[in-house]
Chains A and B, each alone.
Chain A
Amino acid sequence: MSLNKPDLLRQMVTIRAFEEMAEQLYTLGKVHGTMHLSIGMEASAVGAIAALRPDDLILSTHRGHGHCIAKGADLNRMMAEFMGKENGYCRGRGGSMHIADVQGGNLGANGVVGGGIATAMGVGLGLKMRRRGDLAGFWKPARSADRVILCFFGDGAANLGPFHESLNMAAIWKLPVVYVCENNQYAMSFPVKKAFAIERISDRAAAYGIPGVTVDGNDLLAVYEAVSQAVERARAGEGPTLVENVTYRWRGHSKSDANRYRTREEIEAWKEKCPIKRFRQRLVEAGELTEEEAERIEQEAYAVIDAAVAFADASPEPALETIEEGVYA
């Protein structure tokens, strides 16, 4: 597949800009609740989703802004959702932790750690069933029959019962699921060194008889390669794969995290491995992009975010009369 690498850079910068703006809005009191920022993890989201076709599906985590953007969401509507507005993706009912772009194939961020892992297995089951000939006429417009579901989760979720139950079931039925573990070294404050008796989370794949691979999660192309193989496998009906993206989040777990569990030095060290800086450098060095072009991409990304904020600011609040809508179909 030929990649539009400048566009991938643009996506990553957009995510960075969005996260920084979200953080700023929060401190200004314009976004309430909490948020889980993925600054520093842009390559994991963009690299993985770049391996998907537009009509493939994803399930995301509580740290899902990046996944949502990489999947092609409209930034205005994302920002409106963050501000709880009626024309946000979820009519203001979901917010940061439950943002979804169903039309675009994002089946939602999740407020429960690991909450999407079993659901993804179920989606895989449904997608596999939909390949049956007798179901062809049911859905219009007809979607491509070999869609896959990519499920993001974190190192913390990998220790949940549902992780094991779901990977096993996806494996025995050879479901078209790609499980991407974004190992950012900490489950809230609990470091992976203490949470696991093994070195690599992807080693667990062997327990389910499926391939597992660990990659540098801050190397966009490495992520892309690994996930592409997993997607091909899934599409071909060979079953799930576990891909582990080793990465790091620059900000705390959520807004109320005082970073007491890690050192400034550690954070600074990881910032040196910034995925955006590395990819931009790589493209420029390879002559695929000039510095000026790169600079312009970044500026445009930030401008788009500014416009999204203006859009969201001007958007209406949900009407109180509609408060109970959407509970039942």
Chain B
Amino acid sequence: MREITYLEAVREALWQEMERDERVFIIGEDVGVYGGAFGVTLGLVEEFGEERVIDTPISEYGIAGAITGAALVGMRPVGEIMFMDFTTFAMEQLVNQAAKMRFMFGGTIEVPFVLRTPAGSGTGAAAQHSQSLEAWFVHVPGLKVVAPSTPYDAKGLLLASIRDDNPVIFVEHKLLYKIRGPVPEEAYTVPLGTAEVKRAGRDLTIVATSIMVKRSLEAAEQLAREGIEAEVVDPRTLKPLDEETLVRSVKKTGRVLIVHEACKTGGYGGELAAVIAGSEAFDYLDAPIVRLAGRDMPIPYNRNLEYHTVPQVEDIVEAARQLARGRV
């Protein structure tokens, strides 16, 4: 199967869905001729025109209002907010309006849109351009939150998200844009709410999100040389969460290491840990549940400091090793 980058996979999903469904359009800052802050939408405006690939003035709140309102009258917008940090501007429309209108109006209306947003650190962009805020959105009923980790998942999940009738926050880690992977040429969907065991193992379960899936798989390779076989589970959709796959894995291995980039306190890992501890898997736990996450601090500018602010492969290896050897 041909291999393309994560970025190309996102673009291909947009392209194919816009061809298939005329209601789909893209809106955001610099998504047209510029091709998007990270180049994801390059080429789309030339193909689909300015009516369907819309540049906006600088107004994230406006982008959020635009996709909410357009969705209310039957369109299927895909908005882009170029850094997840800037979703802060859009919160009112996303949280008070889009997430709640269906419920407040007794189920008589739908708000089907996708808001794509690049997140994460590692590019030296520092504190205000490097955040991972997915936990905030997971905490808002009415929103769905998706965080694909591979090109295959990115294309499949984006197509599924656009076709979902709810507002979906689609989180793309900046460092994933360049990774390559096999992606079918035809359109296909990866259902929301399905996790995937990216690597089977028996000694411990590593639950990882977004960029941490890749790092966990690398860690697993290293661990295998020491005779530790790690199972890596990727939730793929953060909300709704596929609890069953997660619990099944933990029951098998008895040891869990949760890895995410966002800061530990109040992070999504706490949710995962509580789900595991409160499930059938509790009786199979042979060690406390371990969370490996970003430090509780803004992302610093200095390259080395930035590197050590979030979990890296060696951190995952060490934490997994301690856990697998019964030292936690």
Q: Which residues of A contact B (CB under 8 A)?
A: 57, 88-94, 98, 100, 102-103, 107-108, 110-112, 115-127, 129-130, 132, 134-135, 138-139, 149, 161-162, 165-166, 168-169, 172-173, 325-329
Contact = CB atoms under 8 A, between A and B. Distances in A.
Q: Which 3 residue pairs are nearest across A and B when measured between Cβ atoms?
A: A122-B69, A118-B65, A91-B106
Contacts of B61: 118, 161-162, 165
Interface in B128-158: 141-142, 144
Contact of B103 (A124, A132, A173, A326): A326
A120 B54 CA distance: 17
Interface stretch (B92-100, B196-204, B302-310): B92-100
Contacts of A121: 62, 65-66, 69
Contact of A129 (B65, B75, B101, B142): B75
A288 to B, nearest CB: 37
Contacts of B297: none
A320 to B, nearest CB: 16
Contact of B62 (A90, A116, A127, A166): A166
Contact of A122 (B22, B68, B96, B106): B68
B25 interface: yes
A328 B74 CA distance: 16
A327 B22 contact: no
A89 B65 contact: no
Given A119-B97, A132-B51, A138-B22, A126 B106 contact: no
A119 B93 contact: yes
B80 to A, nearest CB: 15
Contact of B105 (A98, A117, A123): A98
Interface string B198-222: 0000000000000000000000000
B62 A94 contact: no
A94 B106 contact: yes
B74 A162 contact: no
B277 interface: no
Nearest to B62: A165
B65 A166 contact: yes
Interface of B: 22-23, 25, 51, 54, 56-57, 59, 61-62, 64-75, 92-93, 96-97, 101-110, 112, 141-142, 144, 164-166
B108 A118 contact: no
Nearest to B25: A129
A149 B96 CA distance: 20
Nearest to B56: A169
Nearest to A116: B97
B69 A123 contact: yes
A115 B96 CA distance: 8
Nearest to A167: B62
B23 A138 contact: yes
B29 to A, nearest CB: 12
B72 A119 contact: yes
A127 B73 contact: yes
26 contacts: A102-B109, A107-B109, A108-B101, A108-B104, A115-B92, A118-B66, A119-B68, A121-B66, A123-B70, A123-B72, A127-B73, A129-B70, A129-B75, A130-B74, A132-B51, A135-B22, A139-B74, A162-B65, A162-B92, A165-B61, A165-B62, A166-B65, A168-B57, A168-B59, A328-B102, A329-B165
Contact of B65 (A100, A102, A119, A325): A119
Contacts of B57: 165, 168-169, 172
B121 to A, nearest CB: 28
A233 B1 CA distance: 54
| From A91, A126, A134, A168, residue with most partner B Cβ within 10 Å | A126
Given A102-B109, A328-B166, A329-B166, A125 B70 contact: yes
Nearest to B99: A327
A60 to B, nearest CB: 12
B56 A100 contact: no
A102 B105 contact: yes
B165 A125 contact: no
A129 B93 CA distance: 21
B81 to A, nearest CB: 14
Given A112-B92, A125-B69, A162-B62, A98 B22 contact: no
A117 B61 CA distance: 11
Nearest to A111: B96
A252 B76 CA distance: 41
A96 to B, nearest CB: 12
Residue of A93, A110, A166, A329 with highest tally of chain B CB at under 10 A: A329
A134 B49 CA distance: 13
A120 B69 contact: yes
B92 A94 contact: no
Contacts of B112: 329
Given A112-B92, A165-B62, A100 B108 contact: yes
A38 B30 CA distance: 43
A300 B166 CA distance: 43
